[in-house]
Amino acid sequence: MRTPFPTGRAWIELDRAALRHNAAYLRSLLPPGCRLMPAVKANAYGHGAALIARELSRLGVEAFCVATAEEGAELRAGGAAGEILVLGYTHPACLPLLEEYRLTQTVVDCAYARELERYGRPLEVQIKLDTGMHRLGERCEHLRELESIFAIGNLRVTGAYTHLCAGETDAPAGRDFTLAQDRAFRDAVERLRSRGCAIPKVHILASDGLLRYPELGGGWARVGIALYGTLGSRADLERHGKCLRPVLSLKARIASVKEVFQGEGAGYALRFRAKRDTRLAVAAIGYGDGLPGALGCGAGSALVGGVRVPIAGRVCMDQVLLDVTDVPRVSPGDTAVFIGRDGGEEIAAVDLAEQAGTITNEILSRLGPRLERILAG
Ligand SMILES: *Cc1c(COP(=O)(O)O)cnc(C)c1O
């Protein structure tokens, strides 16, 4: 990998080869007739939607899904040519964005279909069916209401989809629930089609679904987290993500190095207390960049000079203290790695997720706009 020379205080390096590898691997799992529709919502899970979408387009990816119309508009303005599916709610006042940027809106339920009807202008839509998650989607049993969507003159339905919510459990109950969701979805689609409703494409799989239940098929696989080379939890990653390669590294510049004496405190509320004469490095990244505050006071670590060092005291908004006493040489301008490799050591996004008591998706998608993003390799 070519070493980039970022100018910023804190930055993200994206490994192009890893992204290509993941795309190729996930494509190899696709059931017949199914294509990748990468999820690039929340700035491509923090990776940088423009960079990721451009690279995936080069690999022949032609469709994307996003959470909001604004995300879709940005993607289109950035040059994405194919279908862009907005998975979430778009306020009626923002519907012109859908037209202007040729976005496909999800019909989140039948009441929303009426809002889209009131808009009166032509819109492309996909209908979301609720098969048990009870988040977005019209309940799949409501066939008459669903059928009425197809009669709305200004809507052109290009597909229908549902979302699995027990996809990440390997327990029999999770499997049963997933298969029941699939049956309910297929059944509703079949009944609608038999009543003359045209549904060109149907889809059901996200990352967990594609890795565990590729046989469920569909026209698109709405893959997010796996494409970025990780999965929500360590158990998931160990069971189903062995072939994935992490795309993102998170790094920051060391701004200053100083000695504190045994017994002295450091940081807000003096939450770090030196048990010995200590060397502290100030790294220029904080919770304002998405580094979780829960990593403070030794819960999390960074890699400096190939050595794993604890986070000392509280994470600040723009900075964090590292106890680098055990690192032979540290100077301002050196790099601290918060996610990624350094020497023989590695910190994975899933490590941060565990330390912060959340899932990898949340750690990544919170990485903020101040971070410079560089695609390398
Ligand atoms: C976010 C999202 C996806 C992608 O999920 P991953 O688990 O990251 O692959 C797919 N479908 C819907 C409806 C989503 O909200």
Q: Cα of 266 to ligand 1 centre, how many Å?
A: 41
Considering only CA atoms, which residue is closest to atom 15 of ligand 1?
87
Q: Cα of 312 to ligand 1 centre, how many Å?
A: 35
Two tokens, residue 49: 């939607």
Q: How far apart are the first and last CA of the chain?
A: 4
pLDDT at 5 exceeding the cut of 70: no
Whole-number pLDDT of residue 377: 82
Whole-number pLDDT of residue 261: 98
Q: Can you list the alpha helix ranges (DSSP code H) found in 30-109?
A: 41-45, 49-58, 69-77, 95-100
Residue 129 CB less than 6 A away from ligand 1? no
**pLDDT tier, 248 (very low <50, low <70, confident <90, very high otherwise):** very high
Pocket mutation for ligand 1, best pick of 222, 225, 361, 364 (most atoms within 8 Å of C-beta): 222
- The rounded distance, in Å, linking the Cα atoms of 274 and 154 is 68
Residue 47 CB less than 6 A away from ligand 1? no
Task: Dump pLDDT digits (tens) for 22-78.
Answer: 999 999 999 999 999 999 999 999 999 999 999 999 999 999 999 999 999 999 999
Pocket mutation for ligand 1, best pick of 56, 84, 87, 237 (most atoms within 8 Å of C-beta): 87
- Tell me the mean pLDDT in the region 238-261: 97
Residue 305 CB less than 6 A away from ligand 1? no
Pocket mutation for ligand 1, best pick of 22, 65, 108, 248 (most atoms within 8 Å of C-beta): 65
**pLDDT tier, 170 (very low <50, low <70, confident <90, very high otherwise):** confident
What's the chain's average pLDDT? 96
Two tokens, residue 138: 């019209």
Strand intervals (E) in 187-283: 201-203, 220-221, 248-260, 265-266, 272-273, 278-283
pLDDT at 151 exceeding the cut of 60: yes
Whole-number pLDDT of residue 1: 42
pLDDT at 322 exceeding the cut of 60: yes
Whole-number pLDDT of residue 2: 45
Indicate if 128 belongs to the active site: no
Q: Cα of 326 to ligand 1 centre, how many Å?
A: 42
Indicate if 242 belongs to the active site: no
Considering only CA atoms, which residue is closest to atom 6 of ligand 1?
224
Whole-number pLDDT of residue 7: 66
The answer to whether residues 328 and 309 touch, using CB atoms and an 8 Å cutoff, is: no
- Tell me the mean pLDDT in the region 348-359: 98
Q: Cα of 158 to ligand 1 centre, how many Å?
A: 19
pLDDT at 183 exceeding the cut of 50: yes
pLDDT at 4 exceeding the cut of 90: no
Two tokens, residue 118: 């009131």
Catalytic residue among 41, 128, 201, 251: 41
Does the predicted model carry a pTM greater than 0.85? yes
pLDDT at 244 exceeding the cut of 50: yes
Atom of ligand 1 nearest to the CA of 232: 7
Task: Dump pLDDT digits (tens) for 85-123.
Answer: 999 999 999 999 999 999 999 999 999 999 999 999 999
Whole-number pLDDT of residue 171: 85
Percent of the chain with pLDDT over 90: 95
Residue 223 CB less than 6 A away from ligand 1? yes
